[in-house]
Amino acid sequence: MSAAREEILARIRSALQDVPAGERAGDVTVAREYRTSDDRGADELVELLCERLIDYHAQVRQVAAGEVGRAVAEACRELGLARVVVPPELAADWRPGAGEGPEVVEDRGLSAAELDAIDGAVTGCAAAIAETGTLVLDGQGPSGRRAITLVPDHHICVVSEDQVLGLVPEAIAGTASSVRERGLPVTLISGPSASSDIELERLEGVHGPRHLLVLIAR
C-alpha cells in the first residue's frame, strides 16, 4: 500500500511506546453503566415522543391504525400537497386512497431533479426514540431511499405504536443488523431542518424538508 499509510502506522507505533506490547483493545475497560433499556409502557412512551417532537417544531397526530391512509390524505389536503412520493414498499393502507388525495408517485429511483418537483414524501420508519423525539430511517422498506425524505419540502412519517422505543441505545441496537449485515444507510431525523446561524435565532428549513408531520398509528 501507500507510503503515507506505512509512515502513519509507523508514527503511531512509535508514539504508543508506553502501551504494553501484550495489551489488547479489549483490555481497556469501558464501563457501560448507563441506561440501555426502558420499561415505561406504550402510552407513556407515545406521550413523551409527541411532546419531544412538538418541542422541536414537528407536527404530531395520533390516529387509529385503520385510519392512517385517510389521515395522510387529509394532511395532504390541508398542506396543499398535489403530488407525493412514497417508497414502493409502503403499505397500501398507509397511502392516501385513489381519488381522495394527492397523486401518489412510487419511488423507482427518481432523480434529485424529479424529486425537487414533488411536494412531499410519505414514509414509514424503522423506529422512533421517545426520549429524544427522533425518527430512525434505515434505507429499506417503508423508510425509503434517503433522497425522498430530503429533497421535497414536506415529510409525512407514519410511526406505528409498537415502533416507539424509549432510549437511544435501544434504537442503535435495533438498527445494528441493517448496518452490519446489509450496509444500509441510517438517517436519524429529529424535527424539521433547522439553523441558528444568524444571531442564534432558530429558523426552520434551510435545506431539508421545512415541514415534518408525524402520524402515530395506534
Partner 1 sequence: MTDAARHPTFPQAARAALADTQLRHNLGHATHTIRAKRAEVVAEVPDWEQLREAGRALKERVLRHIDDYLLELEGAVQAAGGVVHWARDARECNQIVGDIVAAHGANEVVKSKSLTTEETKLNEALDRRGIRAWETDLAQLIIQLGDDTPSHILVPAIHKNRAQIRELFLSKLDDVPSDLSDDPHELAEIARRHLRKLFLNTPVGISGVNFAIAETGTVSVVESEGNGRMCTTLPEVLISVMGIEKIVPTWQDLEVYMQLLPRSSTAERMNPYSSLWTGVTEGDGPREFHLVLIDNGRTDVLADEIGRQALNCIRCSACLNVCPVYERTGGHAYGSTYPGPIGAILTPLLSGLEEAGSLPYASSLCGACYEVCPVKINIPQVLVHLRHKEVKHSTAAGGLRGRLAGEHLAMRAMARVFADRRLYEAAQRSGRLAQWPLVRGGKIERLPGPLSGWSSMRDLPPLPRQSFRDWWRQRT
Binding to partner 1 (CB under 8 A) within 163-182 occurs at 168-169, 172-173, 176, 179-180
22, 23, 46, 141: which one contacts partner 1 (CB under 8 A)?
Answer: 23
Q: Which amino acid is at 111?
A: S
Q: Sign of torsion, CA 157 163 168 169?
A: negative
- The interface with partner 1 within residues 195-214 (CB under 8 A) comprises 195-201, 203, 205-209
- The nearer residue to partner 1, 93 or 205, going by C-beta atoms, is 205
Can you read off the three cell numbers belonging to residue 216? 402515530
- Cβ atoms of 171 and 135 within 8 Å: the answer is no
- Cβ atoms of 136 and 176 within 8 Å: the answer is no
Cα 5 to the center of its chain, rounded Å: 36
Query: CA-CA-CA-CA torsion for 212, 102, 150, 134, nearest 10 degrees?
Result: 30
- The nearer residue to partner 1, 105 or 172, going by C-beta atoms, is 172
What DSSP letter does each residue of 3-14 carry, written as one string?
HHHHHHHHHHHH
Which range of residues in 2-10, 60-68, 73-81, 118-126 is near partner 1 by CB under 8 A? 2-10
- The interface with partner 1 within residues 46-75 (CB under 8 A) comprises 52, 56
Residues 142 and 177: their CA atoms lie apart, in Å, by 17
Judged by CB under 8 A, the number of residues near partner 1 is 76
User: Residue 4 interacts with partner 1 (CB under 8 A)?
Assistant: yes
- Cβ atoms of 76 and 84 within 8 Å: the answer is yes
Which range of residues in 27-35, 60-68, 78-86, 96-104 is near partner 1 by CB under 8 A? 27-35
21, 29, 92, 99: which one contacts partner 1 (CB under 8 A)?
Answer: 29
User: Residue 39 interacts with partner 1 (CB under 8 A)?
Assistant: no
- The interface with partner 1 within residues 91-150 (CB under 8 A) comprises 109, 112-113, 116, 129, 131-134, 139, 145-147, 150
Question: Do the bridges between strand 203-204 and strand 194-195 make them parallel or antiparallel, or are there none, so unpaired?
Answer: antiparallel
- The nearer residue to partner 1, 145 or 154, going by C-beta atoms, is 145
- The nearer residue to partner 1, 45 or 63, going by C-beta atoms, is 45
